[in-house]
Amino acid sequence: MRVRAITNRLGNAMILEIADILIAPGRQAEFDVAIERGLREVISQAKGFKGYKVNRGVENPQRYILQIFWDTLEDHTVGFRESPLFPQWRAIVGPFFAQPPTVEHFSLVTRSDNVSE
């Protein structure tokens, strides 16, 4: 397997946002619909948005890991968070949160060739 960095159209490596989310118990089915709607209808409009993935916990089904790919760190931390899209997104997903999500950013170190992002 060969190492290859994911790059955006400027030739720079993309930034991965990982949000660690804990929702209120018993609301998984509603939240699954809400988070997908928020991603498709709101976040996908943001400049520098490149893609997303949502996973739900096996050991803890109230835990979700949201991964969003951005062209640059600032596309998320400034462009998105200071835009009117941010309150629209939080209005859709915020009511399900059991506590404020933990959000950090990451760069790619290595991956197997069959994993695209």
Question: Smallest gap, in angstroms, from Cβ of residue 82 to a second copy?
Answer: 18
Our CB check for a second copy shows the closer of 41 and 94 to be 41
54: which 2 tokens? 């949502």
Question: Smallest gap, in angstroms, from Cβ of residue 48 to a second copy?
Answer: 14
User: What is the C-alpha to C-alpha distance for residues 69 and 67, in angstroms, rounded to an integer?
Assistant: 7
Question: Smallest gap, in angstroms, from Cβ of residue 90 to a second copy?
Answer: 19
User: What is the C-alpha to C-alpha distance for residues 96 and 39, in angstroms, rounded to an integer?
Assistant: 15
Which among 15, 34, 9, 16 is positioned nearest to 24, based on CA atoms?
34
Which among 52, 55, 50, 59 is positioned nearest to 31, based on CA atoms?
55
Residue type, 11: G
Contacts with a second copy, residue ranges (CB under 8 A): 1, 3, 15-16, 18, 32, 35-36, 39-40, 44, 50-60, 63-65, 67, 69, 73, 104-112, 114-117
Our CB check for a second copy shows the closer of 88 and 103 to be 103
Question: Smallest gap, in angstroms, from Cβ of residue 44 to a second copy?
Answer: 8
